[in-house]
Structure 1
Amino acid sequence: MRPILVFATLSSILCLSMFYRVTNAVISPDLIRDLHLNAERLGTLGSAFFYSFALCQIPMGVLLDKIGPRIIITFFSLIGASGAIVFGSADSFASAFAGRTLLGIGMASALMGSLKVFVLQFPAGRFAILSGTIISIGTLGNILATSPLAYLNATIGWRQTLLYAGGINIILAVLLFWVLKGDGRNRQYDDIPLSAQERKTGVLESFRLVVSNLSFWQLGAVAFFRYGTLVALQGLWLGPYFMDIKGLTQMKTGNLLMMLSLGTIVGSPTAGYLTDRVFYSRKTVILMGLGLYSLCLVPLTGIFDIDSPLAFSVLLFFIGVFSSFGMLAYTHIKELFPLNMSGTAISGVNFFVISGGAVLMQVIGIIVEGFVRADRSYPPQAYHTAFFICLLGMVCGLLFYAFSKDSHRPH
């Protein structure tokens, strides 16, 4: 029963993290109005979460390896709760930026801490399925940030919504501290045989071994552009694109973004099944999924003139499905290193993942602002150009990753 409670609590915390990441897309008109933002500042505000989140990934792996996930996840979750309260109370760009920064710091342990718990408490053969499942469940947070957030924004406002989220955050942090006993380790793993060299490996040596591995950088590159593009679109820029360029309402925009989240829910366990039961390869499934993901991004560059909400619904659904294949990067990198270095390796890749969101979200804002008209509106080519840059980066990252070392699940 306790493993179920642990999994449910971790999933709920990840839901909140996913919710915080992408709230700005639906409420972007309100943020622009209430905080007096232009496109560049809107992008910077959105990226604040990801910059602070990414910087925390540098020590996060070491903290999880040396202190344990129970204390780390609880402590950081409470910081996240304070960030939600600050952001919900913000009356200026500076205070909103501070709130988003605290949110990024606070939620930095949500996914990495969960994966560390899986490494320590569950059989190794279930890692891909567990990681894919919790990410699918966590994606419910993305769904809550679409139509449900649009509804809450229309009824109680975005500020009150974030204050309530902060309260839920506190409850979940306390609950996790209660259900995850000890330091989060399953004692059966204390007897896992490690070589004498592995037991002598210190923090700095672990870090050196990880960053000196070429496959680490290849996985990092494809993860950077895969998630960076996804969250820049889903977490912010598809919102104003649909509302300002396509003339859709806030609720209809939320409905479209929900399709992307639904696609992710379908894609994550599908990728886990394909890699564990069909191809027995991480690299093959990642290349296949992200190749199709890149193709799905092409219509957003303006090459095809799409105005039908139905067509956009189908497109965003498959963007969600195929982008989620990239989550196997965590399994891939874990299997390239010994258990005592797993936290460092996984958090290292996650640094690239979140950095991609920070950089591309801000870059799109800079590009879009460069096309600003005299009346402060933005033409379609502003968004199309920015989205093309994301596609180009995705293709380059995929080509670099194609030469990485594979890892396999035994038949």
Structure 2
Amino acid sequence: MTAMTRGRALVVFAVFALGYFLSSLVRGVTATLAPALTQEFALSSSQLGLLGGAYFLGFAMLQLPLGNWLDRFGPRRVLSFSLAAAALSCIAFAMADGFVSLLLARFICGVGVSACLIAPLTGARLWLQGSQQQSANAWMLMVGSLGLLTATLPVQWALPLYGWRSLFLVLALFFALTMLGTAWQVPTVQTPAASSRRKNLFTSYAPIFANRYFRRMAWIGFVNYGVLVAVQTLWAGPWMTAVAGYSATQAARGLFAMNLTMLFVFWFWGMANPRLHRAGLSAERIILRGLPFGFIALAAVAWLGPRAGWEAFAIYCALSSVLALTHPAIGMAFVAHEAGRAISAFNLLLFAGVFTTQWCVGAALDRLQAAHWPVVDAYRAVFAVLAMACCLSYLWLLQGLSAERPVAANA
């Protein structure tokens, strides 16, 4: 592991942060654009869920190759190519003339931004110490919350003036500028030995998926984290309009307030993590103690029904924020030269979970309403199932986890 000076680290963080800000903005904008896209293209709930999920499917499909590429070529080269694809996808989305072209552009966007978080996390594992990694992860997620925040009210205000197509053209420009900043400022890493390059994709991931600790944490990524991201970036908005009775503008304000809450929550984690680390509270211990509050809050949303507005979702997201510690926990459980693959494998499961949740929620809502369920009851039933799934995955994590926890690698 090569240390980095504080000034250099701040510059690199700023470049990484801009890329993750943009990726979070395009990730969360679906919830704000849902009324406009539904009206313009006559989308059903299933199509809306598939459109939101296509981003995460593209994101997930590239995670395993990304981990290999990051360990072989380093964050700079991988992220530069990734951002170029993101810029092109935004242009394609702006030019879309139907559901299929929207879907394809959204899928390519997921592929394009797939390295915007994993590249910084891999860089942190290479260049920072343990407590610094947890803080850097929290600050990065705070920047992501700022991107999600920007995807709400600011986008809602801009839509009548410029339209959603112009918005994506501007995003394409900023992705291109971030690509140039990455190529200019992010340092290179040492190329691995030739023998490590000859390993095929699945062989290189064998030690990752064989790790018992990884397998226990995997369900938390797929279910709990997947549900959190799916709700935060898509289904909280339709709930507010269909169940809580919000207008489109009120829903945008609710999403803004929810993501503003998360910005401060991740700011808190960034400040608290070094102190918690010095106090001997590991990421795993915080996850184990804090995670139940999240799915209990989600169950409360289902129980409250029309009384659950943006405040209930903000509480759910805030209480689930301990999930942000899963990435550094996974990264530190492996040696440095395996960190990229470990984090990317976890990301694969996470975003496969987001895709599955977003699509299945939309499909379930359509099926229940076709069976003459009232809209409010359909939403409440689906969200209750999500809370139950999160509870079951947590119970799986608890089963024998402490005995299987590997010693975190410091190399």
- Does the 8 Å CA contact 2:297/2:316 hold for their aligned counterparts? yes
Q: Give the match for residue 381 of structure 2.
A: 385
Q: Does 1:53 align with 2:59?
A: yes
Query: Quick one: structure 1 residues 92 and 86, their matched pair in 2 at CA, closer, same or farther if it must change by over 3 Å?
Result: same
* Alpha-carbon distance in structure 1 between the residues aligned to 2:374 and 2:172: 34
Query: Quick one: structure 1 residues 91 and 162, their matched pair in 2 at CA, closer, same or farther if it must change by over 3 Å?
Result: same
Q: Does 1:103 align with 2:109?
A: yes
Counting only pairs closer than 5 Å after superposition, residues 151-170 of structure 1 correspond to structure 2 as: 151-170=157-176
Q: Residue 58 of structure 1: SS of its match in structure 2?
A: helix
Counting only pairs closer than 5 Å after superposition, residues 267-282 of structure 1 correspond to structure 2 as: 267-271=265-269, 273=272, 275-282=276-283
Q: What is the letter of the counterpart of residue 397 of structure 1? A: S
Counting only pairs closer than 5 Å after superposition, residues 237-386 of structure 1 correspond to structure 2 as: 237-271=235-269, 273=272, 275-301=276-302, 303-307=303-307, 312-372=309-369, 379-386=375-382
Q: Give the match for residue 83 of structure 1.
A: 89
Moved more, 109-118 or 278-287: 278-287
Superposed CA deviations along residues 229-265 of structure 1, whole A, max 9, x for unmatched, are 1222222222122123322122211221123323322
* Alpha-carbon distance in structure 1 between the residues aligned to 2:183 and 2:351: 26
Return the match for 1:222 from 211, 220, 223. Answer: 220
* Alpha-carbon distance in structure 2 between the residues aligned to 1:385 and 1:82: 39
* Alpha-carbon distance in structure 2 between the residues aligned to 1:378 and 1:158: 32
Deviation at 1:281, TM superposition (A): 1.7
Q: What is the letter of the counterpart of residue 357 of structure 2? A: L
Deviation at 1:35, TM superposition (A): 1.7
* Alpha-carbon distance in structure 2 between the residues aligned to 1:68 and 1:409: 22
Query: Quick one: structure 1 residues 118 and 22, their matched pair in 2 at CA, closer, same or farther if it must change by over 3 Å?
Result: same
Q: Does 1:402 align with 2:398?
A: yes
Q: Give the match for residue 194 of structure 1.
A: none
Q: Residue 372 of structure 1: SS of its match in structure 2?
A: helix
- TM-score normalised by L of structure 2: 0.89
Counting only pairs closer than 5 Å after superposition, residues 119-138 of structure 1 correspond to structure 2 as: 119-138=125-144
* Alpha-carbon distance in structure 2 between the residues aligned to 1:64 and 1:409: 20
Where in structure 1 are there 5+ consecutive unaligned residues?
Answer: 191-197
* Alpha-carbon distance in structure 2 between the residues aligned to 1:407 and 1:280: 16
- Does the 8 Å CA contact 1:81/1:170 hold for their aligned counterparts? yes
Moved more, 279-288 or 384-393: 279-288
Deviation at 1:93, TM superposition (A): 0.6
Q: Give the match for residue 193 of structure 1.
A: none
* Alpha-carbon distance in structure 2 between the residues aligned to 1:377 and 1:385: 10
Q: What is the letter of the counterpart of residue 161 of structure 2? A: T
- Does the 8 Å CA contact 1:56/1:105 hold for their aligned counterparts? yes
Counting only pairs closer than 5 Å after superposition, residues 156-235 of structure 1 correspond to structure 2 as: 156-181=162-187, 183-184=188-189, 205-235=203-233
Q: What is the letter of the counterpart of residue 237 of structure 2? A: G
How many residue pairs get aligned? The number is: 395
Q: Residue 157 of structure 1: SS of its match in structure 2?
A: helix
Deviation at 1:154, TM superposition (A): 2.6
Q: Residue 246 of structure 2: SS of its match in structure 1?
A: coil
- Does the 8 Å CA contact 1:18/1:138 hold for their aligned counterparts? yes
Query: Quick one: structure 1 residues 408 and 131, their matched pair in 2 at CA, closer, same or farther if it must change by over 3 Å?
Result: farther
* Alpha-carbon distance in structure 2 between the residues aligned to 1:218 and 1:338: 18
Deviation at 1:184, TM superposition (A): 4.4
Deviation at 1:278, TM superposition (A): 3.7
Moved more, 11-20 or 201-210: 201-210
Superposed CA deviations along residues 171-222 of structure 1, whole A, max 9, x for unmatched, are 11111111113x246x9xx9xxxxxxx9899565541111111221211101
Deviation at 1:97, TM superposition (A): 0.5
Q: What is the letter of the counterpart of residue 336 of structure 1? A: A
* Alpha-carbon distance in structure 2 between the residues aligned to 1:15 and 1:245: 30
Q: Give the match for residue 43 of structure 2.
A: 37
Return the match for 1:5 from 8, 11, 29. Answer: 11
Query: Quick one: structure 1 residues 53 and 323, their matched pair in 2 at CA, closer, same or farther if it must change by over 3 Å?
Result: same
- Does the 8 Å CA contact 1:268/1:325 hold for their aligned counterparts? no
Identity in percent:
24
Query: Quick one: structure 1 residues 327 and 137, their matched pair in 2 at CA, closer, same or farther if it must change by over 3 Å?
Result: same
Counting only pairs closer than 5 Å after superposition, residues 56-71 of structure 1 correspond to structure 2 as: 56-71=62-77
Deviation at 1:266, TM superposition (A): 3.0
* Alpha-carbon distance in structure 2 between the residues aligned to 1:68 and 1:118: 12
Q: Give the match for residue 4 of structure 2.
A: none
Q: Residue 369 of structure 2: SS of its match in structure 1?
A: coil
Q: Residue 368 of structure 2: SS of its match in structure 1?
A: coil
Query: Quick one: structure 1 residues 29 and 407, their matched pair in 2 at CA, closer, same or farther if it must change by over 3 Å?
Result: same
- TM-score normalised by L of structure 1: 0.89
Where in structure 2 are there 5+ consecutive unaligned residues?
Answer: 1-6
